[in-house]
Amino acid sequence: MEEKQTQPRRKIIHIDMDAFYASVEQRDNPELRGKALVVGGAPNGRGVVATASYEARKFGVRSAMSSKRAVQLCPHAIFVRPRFDAYKKASQHIREIFSRYTDLIEPLSLDEAYLDVTEDKLGIGSAIDIAKAIKQAIKDELDLTASAGVSVNKFIAKIASDMQKPDGLTFIGPSAIEAFVEKLAVEKFHGVGAVTAGKMKKLGLFTGGDLKKLSLEQITGHFGKAGAFYYNIVRGIDDRPVQPSRETKSVGAEDTFAYDLSTTEEMFAELDKIAKVVSERLLRHGLKGRTITLKIKFGDFRQITRSQSHTEYSDNFDAILDTAKALLLSAGIGDNNIRLLGITVSNFSSAEDNGPETHGQLKLF
């Protein structure tokens, strides 16, 4: 009788650099070490926080926050402009370290990536040992720290990498996954933002365990296609492969509002928030684009998009916001109320065009 062949259990590592841009700045300038440091736009303008050192994070400073708000939370913070040439150089070195162990590398941005080490190049066998070796190489060769999550799928590995930051390593094995996800707060699920989390809580869904009580029909009825993903993940199922050829085609953010917007002032205020997130994500990915697209969904669920392409590539917050506002005004919305706004940037330049001299660091909810 022929034996049934079974696929080997996957070994997935998620590596996430610790406060990457700020750590590079502190490494390269000893005077900044141990200080509350913010990498991003000037606090006296309309800048956005690209990232903050852990010393600044203690005061509540976070990525995508306005620089003005960061100053309010941490008045003694030191602000520096991003140096993307330095971050890209470090990121390339880190990618080279990854490639010593596997060719199955899916970068998410300059500072994080998934690795599939089910079959590693060096025959080490243990994903935990490989993660330790990668972390040590990054520390020895770049004087930077990284946190790692190790598990059998991407969802759990990503959550695990954030559990013991900075310089952490967390392993969540197959037998522990379901119990872990059942206890996980819904807002900790990757991709669940404030609005979705609020909707879940109104339905009495506070943890993965609560989600697990719903049938597939019930959960997709509430959350559409995403519901099917939630249904599987609370059971430890995530078959998404690590994709080495992953290429970012667009970067965007959108928000569905708690009530329909009826005035231009309200719409502009929301576009301001969304543009900050988009600018921060472009910076994190080291990308600039020429085409800005505005998505509008009306109160009656009709949906339109409007786009504008520029001659120069940009990741600049003001340029994104001003274009989005102009597109909104030109859309002729009249007396229609708006329930959703979104901004997307696409038509990216090549990596060589993304020089440091012209840089301005899913859905929003």
d(CA 158, CA 148): 8
d(CA 41, CA 100): 36
Alpha helices in 148-191 (DSSP H): 154-161, 177-183
pLDDT at position 245 over 90:
no
pLDDT reported for residue 363: 34
Of residues 357 and 202, the one with the higher pLDDT is: 202
pLDDT in tens, 169-211: 999 999 999 999 999 999 888 777 777 888 899 999 999 999 9
d(CA 91, CA 98): 11
8 Å CB contact between 348 and 314: no
Mean pLDDT along residues 236-250: 83
Please report which confidence band the pLDDT of residue 351 belongs to, taking 50, 70 and 90 as the band edges.
Answer: very low
Full strand arrangement of the beta sheet holding 338-348:
250-261, 338-348, 289-298, 303-314
Helix, strand or coil, per DSSP, at residue 326 = helix
d(CA 94, CA 99): 9
What residue type is assigned to position 255 of the chain?
D
pLDDT reported for residue 131: 98
The dihedral over CA atoms of 348, 353, 358, 361, expressed in degrees to the nearest 10, equals: 60
pLDDT reported for residue 313: 86
Alpha carbon separation from 363 to 59, 194, 288 (Å, rounded): 26, 10, 19
Please report which confidence band the pLDDT of residue 354 belongs to, taking 50, 70 and 90 as the band edges.
Answer: very low
pLDDT reported for residue 356: 33
* Element at 52 (helix H, strand E): strand 49-52
8 Å CB contact between 124 and 131: no
Residues annotated as catalytic are 112
- Output the average pLDDT for the chain: 87
Please report which confidence band the pLDDT of residue 364 belongs to, taking 50, 70 and 90 as the band edges.
Answer: very low
Mean pLDDT along residues 245-256: 80
pLDDT at position 261 over 50:
yes
Q: Is the pTM of this model over 0.85?
A: no
Alpha carbon separation from 222 to 203, 265, 298, 301 (Å, rounded): 9, 31, 20, 17
